Structure 1
Amino acid sequence: MPSSSRPSRPSSRSTAKTLLACAGVVLAAAALGLASWQATAPDDRPARGGGAVSQPRSEDSGARAELLKLARREAGDRLAVGRQDAPVVLIEYSDFKCGYCGKFARDTEPELIRKYVEDGTLRIEWRNFPIFGEESEAAAKAAWAAGQQDRFQQFHAAAYAPGAKEKGFGAERLLELAREAGVPDLERFSRDMAGEAAAAALARDREEGSRIGVASTPSFLVNGRPIAGAQPYGTFAAVIDGARAEAAR
């Protein structure tokens, strides 16, 4: 079964030909193409692993070098967990309305944090990549606003709790999620969510993902190696272990 989601498009063949904004990332987009982004409607079917990690080839070195540069390692990034100097960076492009993103958030990410983030091996950097319309965009801005009060991880957990996406992400629901997340100043939260800084942060993440060919969620880069979809824990662990060993050489 497919393990990533994207909205309905006129033609799956046409979506495979993602427009690139800059010639300098053509190789990066080619590497992402090797990961074979899956096209499905968002639902909660179990994900199945296999065939979703790009395999190393000698000609991929230039592409991976471009993708490695996407790790921001910003000290003040409130949408990231893990040491700024961790040897491995996992970048996640996700949508709060994506069922498979929720599956990864509930089933896989907590174990990655316990095993790899807590020992300093891994840093996880979130990228808001809403693809399911206005409510997806609103949820992305709300998550960013929660992060400004150091409650991104708590908001992330509340928004991906079982059954949460079925309740939608309207204005009142986002305030409810902020309360669940323990956001201390809800008036500031509402201002931040509607402000220019939230829109700019969302645009930055979207531009980055679109520029390298992300077409479905969740999509990941682990030290420049693409992984498509909510693959099993073992898939991520193998790629992280390999990236750690490679970084140590």
Structure 2
Amino acid sequence: MSRRNNSARPRRSPAQPPVRETRSRIRTIAAALALVVAGGLVIAAVVLTGGKDSDAGRAGTAAPVAAEDNAQFRALAKLARRDQQDPMALGSANAPVVMIEYSDFQCSFCRQFTQNTEPTLIEKYVGTGTLRIEWRNFPIFGTESEDAARAAWAAGQQGKFWEFRKAVYDSAPKKNSGALTPERLTEFAELAGVPDLARFRADQDSESARAALRTDATEGIDLGITSTPAFLINGRPVLGAQQVEQFIAIIEAARHSGGEGLGK
């Protein structure tokens, strides 16, 4: 199946996501899913477009899923945290479908998904209790990406993660151009309505922020993700800012799968 690679890959030199710490459970899952994630996440076979190229922009239809695929999806679905207090998540912790998103704030395709596709998914599925979206910071473009990720985490500590994310993506910063300075990130926080900017700056530079970033980045690294955005929808892998119809097709397949892949 041909497709556009609507995902961003890091240039040769920028720093990769921080510190490869051991996460034995994730490594075990990743090893078991070598065929699914080899060379990075690929669009899952759960969606076909009736023989059409995925660029056709038509609604996909759910293909039959082999038993071994369902076992793989269930394993990956266990990465959903389902923490109702998670400031970087939208939707009920008990939603039947969880979409985990691995993204970088300097990634143009991540911005494209956020601005053009995600609003439809939020209105159609998050608002109706069907879908939960869990963000994972996956900074693949170096220091500025890492700084923005920690700033986003800090904004989340005051309940303004999603507003901060919107402010950054609306600014469309060019990769490693020097646009995401500490001063500019504070301006984004102010624009997002973060009430205590002194606390924001302290949180951004804290070990807690760095630890949270390492946790998210290590999860993506252990899955073999090499570009952004990348998604798991009830464990079904999707790579790139695909057409909204393809996301809808996978969400519909997941919600009607009889509880497969819920990760509970």
TM-score normalised by L of structure 2: 0.80
**Given that residues 229 and 240 in structure 2 are in contact (C-alpha distance below 8 angstroms), is that contact kept between their aligned partners in structure 1?**
yes
Q: Is the 8 A contact 1:90 1:125 kept in 2?
A: yes
Aligned to 1:36: 42
- What are the superposed Cα offsets for residues 129-154 of structure 1, whole Å, 9 maximum, x if unpaired? 00000000000000000000000010
Moved over 6 A (4+): none
- Is 1:160 the counterpart of 2:165? The answer is no
In 1, are the aligned partners of 2:106 and 2:141 still within 8 Å (CA)?
Answer: yes
Who is 2:145 aligned against? 136
> How far off its partner does 1:48 sit?
4.3
Mapped to 2, the partners of 1:181 and 1:173 lie a distance apart of 12
Query: 1:73 is matched with which residue?
Result: 82
Change (3 A) 1:241 1:134: same
Sort the Cα spacing of 1:242 and 1:66 in 2 relative to 1 into closer, same or farther, 3 A: same
Say whether 1:25 aligns with 2:30. Answer: yes
Matches of 1:49 and 1:116 in 2, distance apart?
Answer: 23
Identical columns (%) = 48
Q: For the Cα contact (< 8 Å) 2:144–2:180, is it kept in 1?
A: yes
Give the superposition deviation at 1:60: 2.0
Distance 1:59 1:49 in 2: 29
**Map of 2:246 onto structure 1:** 235
| 2:32 maps to amino acid | L
Instruction: Give the gaps of 5 or more residues in structure 1.
Output: 11-19, 38-46
Give the C-alpha shift of residue 30 in structure 1. 2.7
Give the SS at the match of 1:127: strand
Cα offset for 1:102?
A: 0.2
1:40 alignment counterpart: none
**Preserved contact between residue 104 and residue 229 of structure 2 (Cα < 8 Å):** yes
Q: Which residue of 1 aligns with 2:68?
A: 59
- More off after superposition, 164-173 vs 76-85: 164-173
* Distance in 2, Cα, partners of 1:66 & 1:84: 18
Distance verdict in 2 for CA 1:65–1:49, change over 3 Å? farther
> Letter of the aligned partner of 2:86 in structure 1?
D
User: 1: distance between equivalents of 2:34 and 2:144?
Assistant: 28
Supply the distance in 2 between the matched residues of 1:219 and 1:24 (Cα, whole angstroms): 17
Alignment of 1:119-198 (within 5 A): 119-161=128-170, 163-165=172-174, 168-198=179-209
In the alignment, what sits opposite 2:5? 2
Letter of the structure 2 residue corresponding to residue 96 of structure 1: F
Query: Do the aligned residues in 1 keep the contact of 2:36 with 2:42 (CA within 8 Å)?
Result: no
Post-superposition Cα deviations, 1:140-196, rounded to whole Å, max 9, x if no partner, equal: 000000000000010011111153446721111101111110111000000000001
| Alignment check: 8 A CA contact 2:93 2:132 kept | yes
Q: In 2, Cα distance between the equivalents of 1:129 and 1:60?
A: 26
Aligned equivalents of 2:140 and 2:85: distance in 1? 26
Query: Tell me, which stretches of 5 or more residues in structure 2 are unaligned?
Result: 14-22, 44-53
Deviates more, 1:181-190 or 1:23-32: 23-32
Deviations, residues 91-115 of structure 1 (Å, cap 9, x unaligned): 0000000000000000011111001
Root-mean-square deviation (Å) = 2.6
How many pairs does the alignment contain?
230
Counterpart position of 2:19: none
Tell me the distance in 2 between the aligned counterparts of 1:29 and 1:165: 34
Verify the 8 A CA contact 2:30 2:37 in the aligned structure 1: no
Letter in 1 for 2:152: A
Report the TM-score when normalising by structure 1.
0.84
Q: Shift of residue 248 of structure 1? A: 5.5
| Matching residue of 2:102 | 93
